[in-house]
Chain A
Amino acid sequence: MGNFDLLMHGFGVAITPMHLLLMVVGVLLGLVVGVLPGLGAPNGVSLLIPLTFTLDPTSAIILLSSMYWGALFGGSTTSILFNIPGEPSSVATTFDGYPMARSGQSTRALTLAFMSAGIGALLGVIVITLLAGWASNFALRFGAPEYFAVYFLAFAAFIGMGSASPVKTVVALATGLLLASVGMDNVTGEVRLTFGFSDLLGGISFLVVVIGLFGIGELLATVQEGLSFRGVSSRIDLRDVLRTIAELPRYWATSVRSGLVGIWMGITPGGPTAASFMSYGIARQASRKGQAFGTGRPEGIIAPETADHSAGTCAMLPMLALGVPSSATAAVMMGGLMIWGLTPGPMLFATKPDFVWGLIASMYVSNVIGVILVLLTVPMFAALLRIPFSIIGPMIVAICFVGGYTVSNASFDLWLVLLFGVVGYLFTRLDYPLAPLVLAMVLGHKAENAFHQSMILSDGSLSVFFSNTLVSSIMALGLALLILPKLLHLGGRLRRRQPVE
């Protein structure tokens, strides 16, 4: 088995004292960057690029990728503790992670998140190891209609069932779509909905909206209840960590399913953020107690975290083999590759086996290092909740605003954070769901672009979305996910009603 030998060779490259040190440094830097909203993995990684000029490419990519894994871990921490997603891909983790932490189980929530993240990453690397060649050929088959179908599928999986009022869901969804369409449209080259404000030229940043909606919005809700975190009495005990790890095998089905969703979205152009939403949506639909999601269910943490990380790792594959980055961080790393004189492409695997397999092997090692390091930080982070609210509350506010500012160094974004904080508060109190708004912001414009490109290619014929087996089956799956739960729900109601009549 060729790939196995290559992987063993890769371990030989990756496991040297120098590389292990780089992994630890990378993961730790990534944790810091991930915990602070707005600083984010893309910023952090691009900052290290000039420093890597003196390293050889393999060491450099090990450092950068370790930082990325660290940032993914760190992003979940603030999602769970403060309802502030440190990274875009950890938004879905807030849905159940934050309620669980609020009920006094922050250690359990963090441990679940980190362990699932580690499992997701491992599943992702295993797929890369086994299927590297096949997967990159598969990704080549994706043209604009297939892109659209993938986005549609992600939408369908998430929107298919929700407990909120349908009209309010539509409001949230439409608002998200409109927010996403502000700014320059790449396909038509038009500047849209800026109303002449230069500040809106770059569009409304997803991360700024999320920091406002979730971070500030939640603080406002906390304050109106009377200035304290609900459930401060979190007991911090390493035994809690172990106990949580022991309960993980019970959720093996969720883990495997979420891993597969993540792998699919990582190889196709969906990306980690969409993967975590889609996986969360599917977990909710698959669960028998569907309504209880959002109240701190373990599956609600495991699903998005596993998918996020398996997608994040699998996204390295299209980056290396095709030169298509499927996340902002991958784009920066790819820029690094070019500066180091490596060309991403199908031949990279053949011409630079040391580099490629060294990186893949390092992904196994650095994710294990990442899980260990991050679990050690759990008691420290959980202790943050013991700081009196009158101190930590304003600090979170300040960090939210700093985060909003650093996303694109724009003062205008400070106003947006404030505005969306109020919107988040109102929406939550009035039972408008926030998740469809956020998902629409992530995927709305991409889906519109792919749709538009498909229309140009097909001269305006919608039949292009059913023009070959690949795109037809993805579309059919999406439609099924959209309609089937409704039918099953309806069927269930009818059956229950009959005995009564």
Chain B
Amino acid sequence: MTVRRFHAEIGTAIGTGAIGAAAVIGATELGYGWEESGPQSGYFPFYVGLILIAASLWNLVAAFVKHRRPALDDAGIEAPFLDGERLARLGGFLAAMLAFVVATLTLGIYVGATGYIAWNTWRKGGYRVPVALAIGLGFAAALYIIFEVIFLMPLPKGPIEPLLGIY
């Protein structure tokens, strides 16, 4: 499976256009007129939103035009944006990151970070499991000491820390 630059351009243009549309909708709830004392609170978001929609449309059309006439294409619109191998690498990395975020939110950052780092050093780095676990635990301990002990900044914790007497 290959993602072409054309697909990425279109996806991004739709995304930025959606942000613009959301802003315009949010701004109409607030009022976007110009009162005697200057702009209403929705004035800037409304017009900036419109500009964003227009610019996104332009990018969308430009991508289609280049797609239809690839001969004139100088930006390589048909060039692969992500080939299969890279897509897999990127997908794997993102999935691990997503798992890390979910683990942090449910089990706390120390468990999440230990697991995430240990898994990566084991699978991607080729270290043995005990070594990988040690690196992960060491990192979590360093986080705890720097943030919670030295700088008194509480980090998100899950159900396991209280069992160890850490709140």
Q: Determine whether the beta carbon of A171 is less than 8 Å from that of B89.
A: no
Considering the complex, give the chain A residue whose CB is closest to the CB of B23.
A178
In the complex, A223 has a CB within 8 A of chain B = yes
In the complex, A193 has a CB within 8 A of chain B = yes
Interface string of B7-44 (1 = CB under 8 A from A): 01101100010011011001100100011111111101
In the complex, B93 has a CB within 8 A of chain A = yes
Q: Determine whether the beta carbon of A405 is less than 8 Å from that of B52.
A: no
Q: Determine whether the beta carbon of B98 is less than 8 Å from that of A168.
A: no
Complex Cα spacing A460 to B45, Å: 19
Considering the complex, give the chain A residue whose CB is closest to the CB of B102.
A414
Q: Determine whether the beta carbon of A224 is less than 8 Å from that of B89.
A: yes
Q: Assuming A178-B20, A216-B97, A398-B109, what are 9 further A-B pairs, CB within 8 angstroms?
A: A39-B151, A39-B153, A43-B153, A175-B52, A192-B26, A401-B109, A414-B104, A459-B36, A459-B37
Chain B residues contacting A414 (CB-CB under 8 Å) are 101, 104-105
Chain B residues contacting A421 (CB-CB under 8 Å) are 97
In the complex, B94 has a CB within 8 A of chain A = yes
CB distance from A408 to the nearest CB of B (A): 11
Q: Determine whether the beta carbon of B125 is less than 8 Å from that of A391.
A: yes
CB distance from A450 to the nearest CB of B (A): 11
Complex Cα spacing A426 to B81, Å: 10
Complex partner residue of B45 from A47, A193, A459, CB under 8 angstroms: A193
Kindly name the residue among B26, B98, B125, B151 whose own CB sees the greatest number of chain A CB atoms within 10 A. B151
Q: Determine whether the beta carbon of A452 is less than 8 Å from that of B52.
A: no
Q: Determine whether the beta carbon of B19 is less than 8 Å from that of A178.
A: yes
In the complex, A406 has a CB within 8 A of chain B = yes
| Known contacts A171-B59, A174-B51, A185-B41; is-contact A47 B152 (Cβ 8 Å) | yes
Interface string of B95-132 (1 = CB under 8 A from A): 01110110011000100010011001100111000000
| Known contacts A227-B124, A398-B113, A452-B38; is-contact A406 B147 (Cβ 8 Å) | yes
Chain A residues contacting B143 (CB-CB under 8 Å) are 398, 402
In the complex, B160 has a CB within 8 A of chain A = no
Chain A residues contacting B82 (CB-CB under 8 Å) are 224
Q: Determine whether the beta carbon of A455 is less than 8 Å from that of B37.
A: yes
Considering the complex, give the chain A residue whose CB is closest to the CB of B116.
A394
Q: Determine whether the beta carbon of B55 is less than 8 Å from that of A405.
A: no
Interface string of A143-180 (1 = CB under 8 A from B): 00000000000000000000000011011001101100
| Known contacts A188-B41, A193-B26, A411-B105; is-contact A395 B117 (Cβ 8 Å) | yes
- 19 residue pairs A–B, Cβ–Cβ below 8 Å: A39-B147, A167-B58, A171-B52, A171-B56, A175-B19, A192-B45, A216-B97, A391-B121, A397-B100, A397-B116, A398-B116, A402-B143, A411-B105, A418-B98, A418-B101, A427-B12, A430-B5, A454-B38, A460-B34
Chain B residues contacting A227 (CB-CB under 8 Å) are 89, 124
Interface string of A445-477 (1 = CB under 8 A from B): 000100110111001100000000000000000
CB distance from A100 to the nearest CB of B (A): 25
| Known contacts A174-B20, A401-B100, A455-B38; is-contact A224 B30 (Cβ 8 Å) | no
| Known contacts A167-B59, A170-B55, A178-B19; is-contact A398 B45 (Cβ 8 Å) | no
CB distance from A225 to the nearest CB of B (A): 8
In the complex, A3 has a CB within 8 A of chain B = no
Q: Determine whether the beta carbon of B40 is less than 8 Å from that of A178.
A: no
Q: Determine whether the beta carbon of B147 is less than 8 Å from that of A402.
A: yes
Interface residues of A in 11-67 (CB under 8 A from B): 32-33, 36, 39, 43-44, 47
In the complex, A409 has a CB within 8 A of chain B = yes
Q: Determine whether the beta carbon of B55 is less than 8 Å from that of A167.
A: yes
Complex Cα spacing A427 to B52, Å: 15
Chain B residues contacting A237 (CB-CB under 8 Å) are none
Complex Cα spacing A188 to B105, Å: 35
In the complex, A220 has a CB within 8 A of chain B = yes
Complex Cα spacing A36 to B153, Å: 13
In the complex, B139 has a CB within 8 A of chain A = yes
| Known contacts A193-B26, A459-B36, A460-B37; is-contact A398 B100 (Cβ 8 Å) | yes
Considering the complex, give the chain B residue whose CB is closest to the CB of A398.
B113
CB distance from A77 to the nearest CB of B (A): 16
Interface residues of A in 363-413 (CB under 8 A from B): 388, 390-391, 393-395, 397-398, 401-402, 405-406, 409, 411
Chain B residues contacting A220 (CB-CB under 8 Å) are 90, 93-94
Considering the complex, give the chain B residue whose CB is closest to the CB of A448.
B44
Complex Cα spacing A425 to B72, Å: 26
Chain A residues contacting B40 (CB-CB under 8 Å) are 188
Chain B residues contacting A216 (CB-CB under 8 Å) are 97
CB distance from B21 to the nearest CB of A (A): 11
Chain A residues contacting B36 (CB-CB under 8 Å) are 459-460
Chain B residues contacting A170 (CB-CB under 8 Å) are 51-52, 55
In the complex, A181 has a CB within 8 A of chain B = yes
In the complex, A499 has a CB within 8 A of chain B = no
Kindly name the residue among A33, A36, A170, A398 whose own CB sees the greatest number of chain B CB atoms within 10 A. A398
In the complex, B162 has a CB within 8 A of chain A = no
| Known contacts A171-B59, A459-B37; is-contact A409 B154 (Cβ 8 Å) | yes
In the complex, A415 has a CB within 8 A of chain B = yes
Considering the complex, give the chain B residue whose CB is closest to the CB of A388.
B125
In the complex, A195 has a CB within 8 A of chain B = yes
Complex partner residue of B48 from A177, A451, A454, CB under 8 angstroms: A177
Interface string of A175-207 (1 = CB under 8 A from B): 101100100010110101101000000000000
